Amino acid sequence: MLNNIGLPGLLLIAVVVLVLFGRGKISSLMGEVGKGITSFKKGVSDGKEELENTAEVAKDITPEEEKDKDKV
């Protein structure tokens, strides 16, 4: 269905959206989308950093008695 939309169809859709919403509304909407993408990327990078830090800090808390049982 979407394979049949060419350049004239996309231009028509863009003009209709521009007429319906106006330039100001579209620019503010795109600004919000940009802020959302930036926030998502920041959250992903913070999550990666947190996982890396957690892996470095992780330590074995198995009681010594349990460790000895595994060796036998």
> pTM higher than 0.85, yes or no?
no
Please give the C-alpha separations between residue 65 and each of 9, 24, 33, 60, 71, in angstroms, as whole numbers: 73, 69, 55, 13, 10
Q: Which pLDDT value is given to residue 69?
A: 66
Question: Cα(20)–Cα(14) distance, rounded to whole angstroms?
Answer: 10
Q: Write the pLDDT tens digit of every residue in 10-69.
A: 899 989 988 988 888 888 888 999 999 999 999 999 988 888 777 666 666 777 776 666
Confidence of residue 5 (pLDDT cuts 50, 70, 90): confident
Please give the C-alpha separations between residue 17 and each of 6, 12, 23, 26, 28, in angstroms, as whole numbers: 17, 9, 9, 9, 14
